[in-house]
A and B are shown apart, each in its own frame.
Chain A
Amino acid sequence: MLYVPVPSLWPVWNNWTASATPGVSVTPGTSGAEGTYTEIVDGALVTEDVYFMRIWQSAGFVSTAAKPQLMDIGVDEAAGTSYTTIVNNISCGNCGAASFTSERFGRFYDLPIFIKAGSSIAIRVQGQHATGTATRFAIKLIGGTHQPHFIRAAAFTETIGTIASSQGTAFTPGTSSAEGTWTLVGTTVAQLWGFLPSVDISDAGMTALGYIVDIAYGDASNKVLLSENNPVYTASTEYVTHPAMQLGYADVPAGTNIYVRGTCSGTPDTGWSCTVVGFGGIGHS
């Protein structure tokens, strides 16, 4: 029988609202320390297995301050508050605040990850700055499929990038729409099939500029694009916004180099860094 079934997926839970203060407030750790986990959803509300998560982050910036941050996601499959970290170090700092008037949302992140029904989900943030400015997280959980064996949702993740001062691997975007140089973010440890780029900036004097970011795998001479032309915006009041960066889907063996490059609409601000979350395995009940 030639039969290609199509999986259904439906909304399991979300706390997205028509509000400029979405979701839950999370206060980052300071001076490079991890924050504490803040529950976003209690396991009692996660009534079905989750195969995809979308995060909407809003606020956390301070004018004339640099506030790079890294986000971890934790779950407690027993619906408690003893969280096991399942995603590490998504770059997420200086987030713009949602505003109806300015049609500004903040930052979005897409994660093809499996989370078992009944799990509580929490987020913690580490910040570089000595003063922790709260940011807000709302999440959407999609899952409950009829055909889980046809869905790629990660059983594990690894984060590629060298972490220092609450940032990932440094890179320099090109000026005036010239492509920047490919910069090695890091090397994969496990076999992976999905990649989420994330970027941040440590600059207390940002400019109103646009950027686009690419990631690729390969070697010094040859690269295969994973995700291309992801827009990121900075404002002169020191915040960053972007739509969800495109997930890169490629079967990449362990020991593969992952690269980033960017380009700026003008002269780029300083202190850009990148982490890439890699997704591996197939998580199912």
Chain B
Amino acid sequence: MLFVSGSSLVPIFNNFTNGTTIGVSVTPGTSNAEGTYTELVDGALVTEDIYYVKLWKSAGFVSTAAKPQLLDIGVDEAAGTSYTTILNNLSCGDCGAISMGAGRFGGKMFDLPLFIKAGSSIAVRTQGSHATGTASRIAISCYGAPDRPHNVIAASFTETIGTIASSQGTAFTPGNSLAEGTWTLVGTTVADLWGFVMSVDSSDAAKGDVGYTFDLAYGDASNKVLLVENFLLFATATEDTSHMAPEIGYANVPGATNIYVRGTCSGTTDTGWTCTVVGFGGLGHP
């Protein structure tokens, strides 16, 4: 957990397991339609305020198919099923599946410094570009109940930076053979933000067995300040991808700031890479 806590935080709820089918099955919408919200945790089980969420998305890839997806998180503070979206368009497709025999804790993990009120039901939905929706498993781990909530930074709102098309974000091209790719403008912030989570996807139906690292920065065409450096992702020739070391970039960035991405590949890069960046703002407290 790359997370700076100035307070105690207690595990509130999680459905991580020791099996290969973690959490809850979520079927994406097809042909770029939004899926329907699937509850991850009922509000009755969220007995304390949440200040941090970890998501683990596993499975959902299909060999020789491209399955880019975007994930939304919704909450119903009344513990019902009328969800208000609090986070949009996290890139999350082609997730690798867990395999104990291969030592693969597969899929994509995301760390999200979010405030969610006690008693809220939490759900996710995914939209997929493919005409056939392949279910993923999504598990959630929630921490909260700080003894000094004023010392914890947890967002009261998010915004997603990136141009959305075909269930993907802003296109960019990683460099080949460990050469850095060119910095590409993901988009521009609207609000003042203090935290950033990058997410990437590829719409390549014939991926290679290669590794990637990605960087995230803010700045302008000439000068950039790194937010996240060498975010690690592995891709395979069976069209699945995994990143299991999520990171949060912490910087106080005013509205109208440019956010950039670049990447590098261990060999020849797959095609169709895109990026969305979730920005975190405000301080959510009861």
Taking beta carbons and an 8 Å cutoff, which residues of A are in contact with B?
4, 6-11, 14, 16-20, 51-52, 54, 56, 96, 98-105, 108, 110, 112, 140, 142, 146, 150-152, 177, 193, 208-212, 224-231, 233-236, 239-244, 246-247, 249-251, 263-265
Contact = CB atoms under 8 A, between A and B. Distances in A.
A122 to B, nearest CB: 20
B230 A17 contact: yes
A26 B244 CA distance: 23
A247 B17 contact: no
Interface string B95-110: 0101111111110010
Which bracket fits the contact residues of B?
Answer: 35 or more
B18 A263 contact: yes
B255 interface: no
A103 B100 contact: no
Among A99, A102, A264, chain B packs the most CB atoms within 10 A around the CB of A102
A236 B100 CA distance: 9
14 contacts: A6-B195, A8-B251, A19-B178, A19-B211, A52-B2, A54-B245, A100-B234, A101-B237, A103-B106, A108-B244, A151-B4, A152-B5, A231-B16, A234-B100
Given A101-B236, A243-B105, A249-B8, 6 more contacts: A6-B195, A10-B225, A16-B232, A152-B4, A231-B18, A243-B109
B200 interface: no
A236 B250 CA distance: 40
A193 to B, nearest CB: 8
Contacts of A230: 16
A14 B228 CA distance: 11
Contacts of A211: 18
B164 to A, nearest CB: 27
A263 B19 CA distance: 10
A246 B195 CA distance: 19
A260 to B, nearest CB: 14
Contacts of B230: 11, 14, 16-17, 140
A228 B242 CA distance: 22
A285 to B, nearest CB: 17
B252 interface: yes
A20 B225 CA distance: 28
B202 interface: no
B100 A6 contact: no
B253 to A, nearest CB: 9
Nearest to A10: B226
B11 A233 contact: no
A265 B105 CA distance: 14
B76 to A, nearest CB: 24
Given A18-B210, A110-B1, A249-B5, A6 B16 contact: no
Contact of A236 (B101, B241, B251, B264): B101
